[in-house]
């Protein structure tokens, strides 16, 4: 079974692929749908948001959800729904850029070590081992307190953090691909290493790359929320789900529970959806990765 699906070429259209996913992995399909809605909201936040992200209205402080304010208002009268949308925008930016950076780092490290092996591989693998023994959060807190918070910093830190860890997975599948006779055939016909990597190794580790990227988006969004919650993420007044939770959310939780519920639920639903979508992608694209 796994052999057959590994042999299959990429599905001809993403639409057909996702229709198939909805049929065979309904939960993952729905996860993908939520992921798409989240992306849409993030990209078009400026258009969709009924109020400005920092537009205050002192007449309407801590109002419960209503038709005017779908998710209520916060302690200085800002519209929570609009802030959730702008938070989504930031999550999308950080999620995609950091996960993108992480994936690029994973590909470079993983393909090089996996393909060439030998001493470089030994050295880099020991470094990755050492890197992975540090608890993520501790590492994040230390680095942020040194270089300071900010969108760029967060993207670079999270990109490196997950990129190095993820290189293991790419390395593993690169080794599997390298062992295939078609890479040998390309070498023996006189192809240069770059040709072999580009036309034979990369296309065949691509399913793993796609799955890795997707799951990383979820992980990065969660990590950013954690950092922002601790005040180490994106500095105010830019709304992020993490800082919304820790700011108004925590202080006014009993007076206005929606202040905590809105960002909390948004985060939970989005990350959960991305994860089940990632699982479904993995099952459909690369069954070997199960359990990683």
Partner 1 sequence: MSASNILEVRDLQVHFPITEGLLKRQVGSIAAVDGVSFHIKRGETFSLVGESGCGKSTTALSVLKMQPILAGQIVFDGQDITDHSAAQMRAVRRKMQMVYQDPFGSLNPRMKVGAIIGEPLRVHGMAGDKAQYHGRIKELMKTVGLLEDMAERYPHEFSGGQRQRICIARALALDPELIVCDEPVSALDVSIQAQVGNLLMDLQDRLGLTYLFIAHDLSVVRHISNRVAVMYLGRIVEEADRDTLFSSPKHPYTKALLAAVPEADPELEAQRSEQLIIGEIPSLRSPPTGCTFHTRCADAMPVCQRHAPERKINGETLLSCHLYS
Longest distance between any two alpha carbons in the chain, whole Å: 76
In terms of CB distance, is 6 or 160 closer to partner 1?
6
Any contact of residue 10 with partner 1 (CB under 8 A)?
A: yes
Binding mask 186-215 for partner 1 (x = CB under 8 A): xxxxxxx--x---xx--xx-x---------
| DSSP classification of residue 135 | -
Nearest alpha carbon to residue 243 among 149, 137, 148: 149
Among 8, 120, 130, 137, contact with partner 1 (rule: CB under 8 A): 8
Q: Is 73 helix (H, G, I), strand (E, B) or coil?
A: strand
Nearest alpha carbon to residue 206 among 214, 161, 20: 214
In terms of CB distance, is 5 or 251 closer to partner 1?
5
Among 20, 24, 184, 292, contact with partner 1 (rule: CB under 8 A): 184
Least separation in angstroms between residue 253's CB and partner 1 is: 52
- Token pair, residue 32, equals 């993908």
In terms of CB distance, is 165 or 196 closer to partner 1?
196
- CA-to-CA dists, residue 163 to 149, 191, 238, 243, angstroms: 20, 29, 26, 25
Any contact of residue 129 with partner 1 (CB under 8 A)?
A: no
Any contact of residue 14 with partner 1 (CB under 8 A)?
A: no
In terms of CB distance, is 24 or 192 closer to partner 1?
192
Residue 102 contacts residue 185 (beta carbons within 8 Å): no
| Whole-number Å distance between alpha carbons of 88 and 267 | 9
Given the rule CB under 8 A, which residues bind partner 1? 4, 6-10, 180-182, 184-192, 195, 199-200, 203-204, 206
């Amino acid at each position: 079974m796994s052999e057959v699906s590994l042999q299959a070429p990429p599905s001809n259209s993403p639409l057909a692929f996702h229709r198939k996913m909805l049929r065979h992995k309904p939960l993952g399909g729905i996860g993908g749908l939520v992921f798409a809605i989240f992306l849409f909201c993030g990209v078009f936040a400026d258009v969709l948001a009924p109020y400005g992200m920092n537009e205050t209205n002192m007449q309407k402080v801590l109002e419960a959800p209503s038709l005017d304010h779908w998710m209520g208002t916060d302690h200085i009268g800002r519209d929570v729904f609009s802030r959730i949308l702008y938070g989504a925008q930031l999550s999308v930016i950080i999620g995609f850029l950091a996960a993108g950076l992480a994936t690029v780092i994973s590909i470079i490290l993983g393909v090089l070590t996996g393909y060439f092996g030998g001493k470089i591989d030994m050295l880099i693998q020991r470094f990755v081992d050492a890197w992975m023994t540090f608890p993520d959060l501790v590492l994040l807190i230390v680095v942020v307190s040194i270089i300071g918070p900010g969108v760029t910093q967060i993207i670079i830190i999270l990109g490196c953090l997950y990129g190095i860890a993820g290189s293991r997975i790419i390395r593993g599948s690169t080794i599997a691909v390298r062992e295939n006779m078609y890479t040998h055939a390309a070498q023996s016909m006189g192809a240069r290493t770059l040709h072999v990597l580009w036309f034979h190794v990369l296309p065949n580790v691509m399913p793993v790359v796609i799955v890795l990227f997707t799951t990383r988006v979820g992980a990065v969004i969660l990590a950013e929320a954690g950092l922002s919650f601790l005040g180490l993420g994106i500095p105010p007044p830019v709304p992020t789900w993490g800082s919304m939770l820790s700011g108004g959310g925590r202080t006014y939780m009993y007076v206005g529970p929606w202040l905590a519920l809105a960002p909390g639920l948004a985060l939970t639903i989005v990350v959960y959806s991305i994860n089940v979508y990632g699982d479904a992608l993995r099952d459909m694209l690369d069954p070997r990765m199960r359990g990683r």
